[in-house]
Chain A
Amino acid sequence: MAEAGRRRGPTGKPRYSILALARNALSYHENWQAAWRSPEPKPSYDAIVVGGGGHGLATAYYLASVHGIRNVAVLEKGWIGGGNTGRNTTIIRSNYLWDESAAIYEHALKLWEGLSQELNFNLMFSQRGVITLAHSEHELKEMRRRVEAIRLNGIDTEVLSTADVKKLVPIINTDQGIRHPVMGGFIQRRGGTARHDAVAWGYARAADDLGVDIIQNCEVTGFLKDGNGAIEGVETSRGTIRSKRIGCVAAGHSAVLADLAGFKLPIQARPLQALVSEPIKPVIDTVVMSNAVHMYISQSDKGELVLGAGTDSYNSYAQRGSLNIIEHQLAAACELYPIVSRLRVLRTWGGIVDTCPDASPIVSRTPVDGLYFNCGWGTGGFKATPGSGHVFADLMARDRPNPVAAPFTLERFKGGYLIDEHGAAGVAH
């Protein structure tokens, strides 16, 4: 993306490289600078981003790098990257069914390509391919529809036979006699994974370099409005901070913030769990997703199998889920990948996903002038991080809908122009 701009830090932070590592090794790594400062909040900013996850930090970075708005604060109630950025299964792809979704996720994927270099932080973006399986005649037909749509949107996609799948994923069970046999699939080879924490840190370091203040342990407790009802600032656990341009990027807690701002969001917050196995030598080189058997799997560079499935079926703000989801997902893992049965679960955890009725995000102005919301990414937000930040920064900077983000307004729930990724796309991870 030419328009993404290049990082030119006024603070002149030294760049990371193998040479820098070697140089610092000579001084026992005692002279590395902080990746980002920990400044006290200033009384006012040109723009405030509420929420220091990947999306919020990316927003701040692009406000500074693309739009030249550098007097920016990111307010994070805990530690940056501590929400869904650090809790997801790191899958990145853009092979969505609907044109609007394909556009925004492809916008993101193009930014992912080259992001490590742009941010000078190795995000370990690994284009190892994402396979989606089909297990029935019906799924084969759905797959055909999706593949055709992806292809005509100019996004890479390849149909796979059962034999192709087996070749790419030797540990998969392709016995046609099982309950949900693998009948084929499709792959997006440009899809893959990235190191989730690094995304938050890389954006934070790059944004900080451009002058953005990243303020952790700073919880927003209220919004300030002027006489006309336009936004004027926020009340926080660290005092009042003023700005006439505020973007909220708070995922699972968006509805809470909207409540503080005086309007409602059509969002449900639900737990989504994931887990990793103990690390083992490489057994699976791609990401594989399945709707009928309902689980997805990849292997981290450290060797852990990373597994996910669907959300718990109740609303909650607790970052934990129920055991039955884990049991079902692991039975599914044993069914499709029989060798994993003797491996062991190392860690399970949960995040809170914010899901709209149509399972598509909100990147929008709000009823409050100067206040913008970016939320509702549901179970699929990680992959969108660069794109989401990029278009949201554009919206905040220009106060007019970015063309890629335009369909994802809050107004669509009134007008009815929904982008329903629930229906045909199934699992939207």
Chain B
Amino acid sequence: MANQSNRLAAGGRVDRRRPLVFRFDGRRLQGYAGDTLASALLANDVHLVGRSFKYHRPRGILGLGSEEPNALIQLGRGNRTEPNLRATQIELFDGLDAHSQNRWPCLRFDVGAVNSAFHRLFPAGFYYKTFMWPASLWSTYEEVIRHAAGLGRAPEGPDPDRYERMHAHCDVLIAGGGPAGLAAALAAGRSGARVILADEQAEFGGSLLGDDDVTIGGTPAVDWVAEVVAELESMPEVTLLRRATVNGYYDHNYLTIAERVTDHLGVGLPTVPRQRLWKVRAGRVVLATGAIERPLVFRDNDRPGVMLSTAVRGYAVRYGVLAGRRPLIVTGNDDGYRTAFALADRQARVAGIVDLRTDPIGPLVAEAKNRGIEVLAGHSVTATHGGRRIEAAEIAPMTADGSGLAGSTRTLECDVIAMAGGFNPTVHLFSQSRGKLRWDGERAAFLPGTSHEAEVSVGGCAGTSSVTQAIKDGIKAGLDQVRALGHTARQPAAPAVEEHGQGETRPLWLLPSTQPVGRKGKHFVDFQNDVTAADLMLATREGYRSIEHVKRYTTTGMGTDQGKTSNVNALAIVGQSLGVDVPAVGTTTFRAPYTPTTIGAYGGRDVGHLFAPTRTTAMDPWHRANGAKFEHVGDWMRAWYYPKAGETFRQAVDREVTVARNGVALLDASTLGKIDIRGGDAAEFLNRVYTNAWAKLGTGRCRYGFMLKEDGMVMDDGVTTRLADDHFHMTTTTGGAARVMNWLEEYLQTEWPEMDVRLTSVTEQWAVASICGPKCRELLGRLCSDIDLGNDAFPFMAMRDGTVAEIPARVFRISFTGELSFEINVPTRYGLALWEALMTAGADLGITPYGTEAMHVLRAEKGFIIVGQDTDGSVTPLDLGMDWIVSKSKPDFIGKRGLARPDLHKPDRKQLVGLLTEDPTFVLPEGGHVVETVKPKPPMAMLGHVTSSYYSPSAGRSIAMALVKGGHARKGQTLYVPLEGRTIPVTVAGTVFFDPEGSRRDG
């Protein structure tokens, strides 16, 4: 096992007493608890960790955290593997098994690197210009492209882990636990307000964890962090979330936080989810998300060992890892000097500080000279050398304006280059909240401008580079937020901070080289997607001038790092290329999530049996115990048919239908939608939502009604009953129940708010057993003594309150089969008892349960329609031949105006008719289409389609209903249903196939 050759003897926040063993591409390596995979790899002098997307160039670790574009890792194996993780964010655990990506057969010898040899054929957007000939080969080209693209691999099987979502409300949500965020949390927390502080790292402290040249209150900054965190932890109203990225900012201060609960352990825990998605509604939000260092764009700036300056410093200070012994600093600001000193203090021999500034001054510059570190002011890096690791850089003095070179080049050997290009405030969340960004020329950065939400940005993300200011602003922000919410709060004292002052930054977006850009070498802007400065210039040259066009044409900023290190550099280079300022170029839109977030975390626990509810009725246990087959109807499981031993589907259904016509049969009708309607305007309300008249319906009487959409098409149907003058019981279709309820509520709330009507869904309050057949009155009589069941006393379309099997019941005399029928409604908890009582009492009558299939056959024999089967949203009552249900005298109802339109009265509309096949045993397939003239092959003009089709035991033949153009006038005509392989001739008929006189209804 390799020793940790780059690990310093002491220092850092790793626990040297807890060594951990891990694998990278099969190689066993050692790190310490507290390491990230990146710091552990660097400790072992592993810089080459991946290959780039397009050219397969060797790539190393660039950054320290979520901004990392290069070091993408495939972690773990099998069902638990995860692609594209950033090594900089993977916390090391014992047995961690990591693999590099996008290389074959191995990282050091990658065949894909052949792309690099042909790189000149692959400028930005090259694929739009080729692969077009011959056209037939595109699918082959595409196959090759697809397999070359992609980064890591998906897991091999279902995710074994669990996720959950958590809802929370708080007074103040603080995103980011660096100096500003901690100060804000302290100030807000001391007021007693409910505060949530979330940080994406394992520890709070932010940038302070990677700096050892800052003291707060006279002690190292990390001690101040520990004190503040301890105080926050003692506050009951403060929630501290570590490893929790505030990743989405939605309307009205609704934010999401992705918390990685167990990923750092390497194993799941039975008691907690792997990840948790917090959904937080915050009174106020403090954004303290810090800033991300900018890389510098110079020739071949992508070799392994070329890193961000704060990252090089962070690995040394926080992890005790020296990324290189011979670092070269390239800086446009004072911050690079801090890195130089931190490394020099740890036995590194600094190769020099290349300062882009022509005449840098200040204490840090003086200190560099005192330390004997060479400062190369006004210099550019003109080239780099090295294959799998940086070996040397060429530098040269620049002209004063930085656009060209003013002297000869010189080579400096180095094993790391630390780039300090200035800082980009992390304005992603601010921008997601629809805040407007503004360009700050002095800081050369986009800063939060006008807020859209109740939110404030502080610290690095607001452009502050000093810890002193960050803490001050954090305290003020914390106080302001809680005071704005009415809390009383006292101002905590701001601690004294000692830190280096920050001098000026020279933003130089594209470092000059000995060669024009695009000629020799590559100036990378987006490392992950291999987008170079030359690509950006090519895009603008080709007319892709909007930054959105440049982004989409070159793919800059579209990698998994979402352009965290590349976007501003790209904007500036595009601006230069177009000859306009950065603000004139604008920005692309920042979109959620801030960092890529696990799909399972969004899904939470809404998977498997919790994906969608399965609704069952009170009688469901009986159906299951008695061998029913089920079908899904909306969310419900309904008994479909009840086969006896050895029976086929058809035999069972035929038997159930026959009993319903000749004896007594029992249906579980509990799933029908039921809405309780009350209020002084209830009758008028029904008048408006149904097509027929309701005002005069007597108490205890039922009526069948159609609801139309505004366009005049049938939306739902059902029987509604008047229970009292101001009280109705509405039924809807099973599948339409929720839609109808919402529809009625919408009308009540938005169109007719003046109406005195209240709606209550009571679908689940009533269990319904529907008995049908000539013997059903006899059966009901055995169980019910307080209702006179005679035809005169209890006529068709009436309702009676009474007692059935000693259960209080509403009994409706309605029929969906054409037979004498009673629908017995009882409170749901008695549903099963009622069902069992009916089965017992009817045993000697041969009572038979029937399912939805037999119900469909029974109703089709009578020509009763099912909304959603015989209609599809494009069918009017007239098309159904049900003109009688549309009132001509009512002043208005929903759909009246739509229905009056002339095209809805044309004789060639699709109209519901019956179809009879020549062969009475042949059952047409539902969905088959009807034509007038059969052609040898398609296309052929269609007249309509078969909506319902069954074998009818009662009629002794197959029956079908169909929507057919001009169907009402086609009775007796022969039409055809062309199926694949054969064509079925059919005769157009009426839709009532059994008992056309309706003589069976009264028993």
- Using CB atoms and an 8 Å cutoff, list the residues of chain A in contact with chain B: 16-18, 20-22, 25, 28-30, 32-38, 78-82, 86, 99, 114, 116-117, 120-122, 124-128, 135-138, 141-149, 151-154, 171, 173, 178-180, 195, 197-198, 201-202, 216, 277-283, 293, 299, 301-303, 320, 322-323, 326-328, 330-335, 338-349, 357-358, 412, 414-418, 420, 422-424
Residues of A within 8 A of B939 (CB): 152-154
Per the 8 Å Cβ criterion, residues 527-559 of B in contact with A are 534, 538, 541-546, 548-549, 552-553, 555
Q: How far is the CA of A149 from the CA of B920 in the complex (A)?
A: 25
- Residue in A closest to B279 when the chains form the complex, CB atoms: A323
Residues of A within 8 A of B884 (CB): none
Given A303-B149, A322-B250, A340-B154, A78 and B711 contact (CB-CB distance below 8 Å): no
Q: How far is the CA of A418 from the CA of B632 in the complex (A)?
A: 30
B481 to chain A, nearest CB (A): 23
B778: Cβ under 8 A from any A Cβ? no
Q: How far is the CA of A415 from the CA of B942 in the complex (A)?
A: 22
Residues of B within 8 A of A330 (CB): 599-600, 602-603
Residues of B within 8 A of A320 (CB): 251
Given A78-B546, A341-B159, A342-B155, A424 and B604 contact (CB-CB distance below 8 Å): no
Residues of A within 8 A of B250 (CB): 322-323
Given A22-B121, A323-B254, A281 and B153 contact (CB-CB distance below 8 Å): yes
Known: A149-B929, A299-B146, A323-B279. 19 other contacts (CB 8 A): A35-B544, A82-B546, A122-B128, A124-B142, A135-B632, A136-B632, A143-B927, A154-B938, A302-B149, A341-B158, A341-B603, A342-B80, A344-B560, A344-B597, A344-B599, A345-B593, A345-B596, A414-B901, A423-B874
Q: How far is the CA of A30 from the CA of B598 in the complex (A)?
A: 42
Q: How far is the CA of A378 from the CA of B133 in the complex (A)?
A: 34
Q: How far is the CA of A405 from the CA of B186 in the complex (A)?
A: 65
B925: Cβ under 8 A from any A Cβ? yes
- Residue in A closest to B925 when the chains form the complex, CB atoms: A144
Residues A137 and B631 in contact, CB atoms below 8 Å apart: yes
Residues A303 and B150 in contact, CB atoms below 8 Å apart: yes
Q: How far is the CA of A116 from the CA of B128 in the complex (A)?
A: 9
Residues A145 and B152 in contact, CB atoms below 8 Å apart: no
Residues of B within 8 A of A216 (CB): 546
Mask, B430-461, CB within 8 Å of A = 1, is 00000000000000000000000000000000
List 6 A-B pairs, Cβ < 8 Å: A16-B129, A22-B121, A135-B632, A153-B939, A197-B552, A341-B600
Residues of B within 8 A of A280 (CB): 83-84, 150-154
A404 to chain B, nearest CB (A): 14
Q: How far is the CA of A142 from the CA of B151 in the complex (A)?
A: 39
Residues of A within 8 A of B901 (CB): 414-416
Residues of B within 8 A of A34 (CB): 541-543
Residues A327 and B560 in contact, CB atoms below 8 Å apart: no
Residues A345 and B538 in contact, CB atoms below 8 Å apart: no
B967 to chain A, nearest CB (A): 16
Q: How far is the CA of A330 from the CA of B542 in the complex (A)?
A: 38
Q: Which listed residue (A303, A415, A416) contacts B146, Cβ 8 A?
A: A303
A183 to chain B, nearest CB (A): 10
Mask, B608-640, CB within 8 Å of A = 1, is 110110100000000000000001110000000
Given A136-B632, A303-B146, A346-B562, A331 and B128 contact (CB-CB distance below 8 Å): no
B606 to chain A, nearest CB (A): 4
B58 to chain A, nearest CB (A): 20
Q: How far is the CA of A346 from the CA of B938 in the complex (A)?
A: 44
Residues A152 and B631 in contact, CB atoms below 8 Å apart: no
- Residue in B closest to A173 when the chains form the complex, CB atoms: B158
Residues of B within 8 A of A279 (CB): 84, 149-151, 560
B872: Cβ under 8 A from any A Cβ? yes
Residues A331 and B603 in contact, CB atoms below 8 Å apart: yes
Residues B553 and A197 in contact, CB atoms below 8 Å apart: yes
Residues A153 and B938 in contact, CB atoms below 8 Å apart: yes
Residues of A within 8 A of B83 (CB): 278, 280, 343
Residues B603 and A17 in contact, CB atoms below 8 Å apart: no
Q: How far is the CA of A110 from the CA of B248 in the complex (A)?
A: 41
Residues A332 and B611 in contact, CB atoms below 8 Å apart: yes
- Most chain A CB inside 10 Å of its own CB: which residue of B538, B608, B927: B927
Residues of B within 8 A of A331 (CB): 602-604, 606-607, 611
Given A333-B599, A339-B158, A342-B159, A29 and B129 contact (CB-CB distance below 8 Å): no
Residues B154 and A281 in contact, CB atoms below 8 Å apart: yes
Residues of B within 8 A of A418 (CB): 711, 874
B201: Cβ under 8 A from any A Cβ? no
B132: Cβ under 8 A from any A Cβ? yes
Residues of B within 8 A of A283 (CB): 154
Mask, B127-147, CB within 8 Å of A = 1, is 111111101001100100111
Q: How far is the CA of A153 from the CA of B938 in the complex (A)?
A: 6
Q: How far is the CA of A341 from the CA of B120 in the complex (A)?
A: 39
Given A179-B609, A278-B596, A338 and B151 contact (CB-CB distance below 8 Å): no
Q: Which listed residue (A29, A79, A323) contacts B538, Cβ 8 A?
A: A29
Residues A116 and B546 in contact, CB atoms below 8 Å apart: no
B712: Cβ under 8 A from any A Cβ? yes
Q: How far is the CA of A94 from the CA of B541 in the complex (A)?
A: 37
Residues of B within 8 A of A328 (CB): 606
A323 to chain B, nearest CB (A): 6
Residues B903 and A20 in contact, CB atoms below 8 Å apart: no
B192: Cβ under 8 A from any A Cβ? no
Residues of B within 8 A of A116 (CB): 132, 135, 138
Residues of A within 8 A of B127 (CB): 122, 124
Q: How far is the CA of A400 from the CA of B648 in the complex (A)?
A: 59
By Cβ-Cβ distance, the 6 closest A-B pairs, closest first, are A423-B873, A303-B150, A416-B901, A144-B927, A145-B927, A154-B939
Q: Which listed residue (B81, B159, B713, B927) contacts A338, Cβ 8 A?
A: B159
Given A21-B126, A358-B711, A423-B873, A302 and B150 contact (CB-CB distance below 8 Å): yes
Residues of A within 8 A of B549 (CB): 79-81
Residues of A within 8 A of B928 (CB): 144, 148
B108 to chain A, nearest CB (A): 21
- Residue in A closest to B122 when the chains form the complex, CB atoms: A21
Q: Which listed residue (A197, A303, A334) contacts B599, Cβ 8 A?
A: A334
Residues A21 and B121 in contact, CB atoms below 8 Å apart: yes
- Residue in B closest to A416 when the chains form the complex, CB atoms: B901
Residues A342 and B600 in contact, CB atoms below 8 Å apart: yes
Q: How far is the CA of A348 from the CA of B713 in the complex (A)?
A: 36
Q: How far is the CA of A99 from the CA of B943 in the complex (A)?
A: 11
Given A144-B925, A342-B82, A420-B873, A151 and B128 contact (CB-CB distance below 8 Å): no
Residues of B within 8 A of A348 (CB): 591-593
Residues B542 and A79 in contact, CB atoms below 8 Å apart: no
Residues of B within 8 A of A36 (CB): 543
Q: How far is the CA of A335 from the CA of B236 in the complex (A)?
A: 38
B165: Cβ under 8 A from any A Cβ? yes
Residues A145 and B150 in contact, CB atoms below 8 Å apart: no
B267: Cβ under 8 A from any A Cβ? no
B157: Cβ under 8 A from any A Cβ? yes
B284: Cβ under 8 A from any A Cβ? no
- Residue in B closest to A357 when the chains form the complex, CB atoms: B711
Given A116-B135, A327-B603, A414-B901, A29 and B150 contact (CB-CB distance below 8 Å): no
Residues A38 and B543 in contact, CB atoms below 8 Å apart: yes
Per the 8 Å Cβ criterion, residues 908-958 of B in contact with A are 925-929, 931, 938-940, 942, 945
B835 to chain A, nearest CB (A): 24
A143 to chain B, nearest CB (A): 8
Q: Which listed residue (B131, B153, B873) contacts A122, Cβ 8 A?
A: B131
Q: How far is the CA of A262 from the CA of B157 in the complex (A)?
A: 58
Residues B543 and A99 in contact, CB atoms below 8 Å apart: no
- Most chain A CB inside 10 Å of its own CB: which residue of B518, B543, B597, B604: B543
Residues of B within 8 A of A335 (CB): 603, 607-608, 611
Residues A339 and B159 in contact, CB atoms below 8 Å apart: yes
B898: Cβ under 8 A from any A Cβ? yes
Residues of B within 8 A of A122 (CB): 127-132, 138
Residues of B within 8 A of A282 (CB): 146-147, 150
Residues B560 and A32 in contact, CB atoms below 8 Å apart: no
